[in-house]
Structure 1
């Protein structure tokens, strides 16, 4: 038989062990199924392939002045009214393709046609007067050789002949002018292109000089940019330019074609014309904003891809894989290479470091990483979709 003191001690030990077991059981029972899966997934290593990793390397980084501007066509025409008339018909709308000589706008030609009819009639009358004066002069000239007319009569006939000839020339000029005015009531396309802007509608009054329609050649696009005057000494014709256009994801390449010899008096910037290196691969829309850099030189620097960066305001970081673990590393980046879109790496990573190419928001600092073979590297491997991001294998429910 136990003594009372030993019995009390034994009861206390049993109660303590029971409470501890209950506490552990309560905590385990309090975890949801999702928390259990998340905890189990976090304990498993992340599987990555060689395609999911990038190696930090030193590359040639293009350097040079920044150029900003817009895409403009080299061939464009602002068609304006050359006569004062009413707009009868506009045959083309914005965006329609036109061929050289196609009729775009028709103006009222009633008054001009009347003027041309009057000028043609005056020209015919002047021609008849000239013919009659010429015949009279030739008759008197013949009679003068035989002494049957005076010298004064011959001179008078010659003067009348010359005056009739001057009237005929003036009448023909008025006829030509009236015909030209009549032709100007028909506004035609000066070259093959596209109607970019229609300025008038049927019934409008077109005064001389009023804009009617604009036509551009979409195959003659160029980058019309501006460069700061303090950097213009580095710009020369023939230099390569890498730039991006608003609305297009791809990177465009061109060459400096011309540098304006005068700076803008207000902005102190110099206009630089850049032609596309590939004329077949250029936008067909004018006025788009573009920004790039003229490759005046190049320097060697560590670079990092834009897709591998994690942005947080002005700060940037990347996920480094080292010794089988993930580590979030803060990095300092510099200028962007206009050719590839990579950034110069100032600090944070070293040459040869491996980083995650396309990081996901589920990555955690200190996670284990397991390098696996990518799909298709071995014929015996079962078919599976290509992995472009980090994949964490979750345990099946109930296991």
Structure 2
């Protein structure tokens, strides 16, 4: 009996506590609802807005122009090929290695070429001796002819032999120079400061004349080699600014200037090549990356809003203006997008100087009350530091 009485009293106490809780709603919950601008009991509550939550509509520069697509390529690049037929002995640089002008990159076997050089040098010495002998013989015949002891024909024959020896010596010297050049070409050197981008051979390979050995590029000479549709090329001029992104560099934007427009369109794609030089120090260090952007062919002033301030409802777009102490929905007439900034042109619905919410949400109501608060950074700074 006593056990049942204790259980009954415990249940009664619990029901009494629940009734008190229902009669006194918690105030922190209401403050949170006001701060978030959510509905309570079917009514929109007051919205607290800080200065950083709004922006002022203003006129800014709108860029318009054709799309340009292509890849990033170095202006200075060299495909180093074998100039002599020989076996590859050494490859001294790997892909990605930096090189200086004149550095030896590949060594070819010079054994047979060195033998040819020695043979040419021996032929040159023999031709030199033959010329000296024919010159001495000519001088003797000239002396004998002066004393009448030889015929004019003999003197003429000596001159012919001397001239022939001179020609042989000149040919021998040319063969020596050619052989020396062949020996020099067994050492493949870097034509400029840069980086090895593509190694094509390994030690032991046979390098025929014209075989590609490796490629060297200059990363500091990168440029955007783009293409523009032929029906838009009339708007493109040398010196126009270009904004573009490069695949592999995320949302980073690069700027450039149109340097050259190809005078002929591609026979297959009917696109025109446009060379764009980088502006500033920021540029990719990897060649061959895909790039896409816009040429700023036309610049005009327009009211602009960032995409974050726009709310889309089907084919309609609107923003939330702050008028006095209340929100007002403003239906917008939209224009084109600025490819440089990502903002949108607004042709109607707002005017310069209007205040709109920077990041509106779906719970806002037309006419909802708004209270402006102090800047968050300032309020945080005004709080006293906790005692240590």
Q: TM-score range by the shorter chain?
A: 0.7 to 0.9
- TM-score normalised to structure 1 length: 0.77
CA distance in 2: counterparts of 1:383 and 1:122, whole angstroms = 99
Cα offset, 1:143, TM superposition: 1.9
Give the distance between the partners of 2:88 and 2:196, measured in 1 at CA: 17
> Does structure 2 conserve the Cα–Cα contact (< 8 Å) formed by 1:319 and 1:326?
no
Separation in structure 1 between the aligned mates of residue 279 and residue 261 of structure 2, nearest angstrom: 17
Gaps of 5+ in 1: 1-21, 385-399
1:137 paired residue number: 138
Q: What is aligned with 2:270?
A: 268
1:298 equivalent to 2:299? Answer yes
Name 1:195's counterpart in structure 2: 196
CA distance in 2, matches of 1:79, 1:37: 76
| Count of residues in correspondence between the two structures | 351
Q: CA deviation at 1:142?
A: 2.2
TM-score (norm 2): 0.79
Offset from partner CA, 1:140-174 (integer Å, 9 cap, x none): 12221221211111111111111111111111111
Distance 2:171 2:342 in 1: 69
1:125 deviates by 1.2
**In 2, Cα distance between equivalents of 1:250 and 1:81:** 41
Q: 1:319 to 1:297 in 2, by over 3 A?
A: closer
Q: Is the 8 A contact 1:134 1:161 kept in 2?
A: yes
Secondary structure of 1:44's aligned partner: helix
Give the Cα–Cα distance (whole angstroms) in 2 for the partners of residues 210 and 309 of structure 1.
59
CA distance in 2, matches of 1:108, 1:380: 75
CA RMSD of aligned residues (A): 3.2
Q: Deviations over 1:20-78 (max 9, x none)?
A: xx9xx79x88xxx9xx9877633435544322322232322111222111111111111
How far has the Cα of 1:328 moved from its partner? 8.1
Residue 182, structure 1, aligned to residue 183, structure 2 = yes
Q: What's 2:363 paired with?
A: 364
Question: Which of these residues, 251, 254, 260, is aligned with residue 252 of structure 1?
Answer: 254
1:214 deviates by 1.0
Q: Distance in 2 between matches of 1:41 and 1:374?
A: 18
Relative distance call for 1:242 and 1:167 in structure 2 (3 A) is: same
Q: Which residue of 2 aligns with 1:320?
A: 320
The residue number in structure 1 matching 2:239 is 238
SS at match of 1:117: helix
Per-residue CA distance 1:101-153 (angstroms, 9 max, x = gap):
01111111111111111111111111111111112112212221221211111
Counterparts of residues 62-77 of structure 1 (less than 5 Å): 62-77=63-78
Measure, in 2, the Cα distance between the counterparts of 1:201 and 1:61.
Answer: 54
Could you tell which deviates more after superposition, 144-153 or 333-342?
A: 333-342
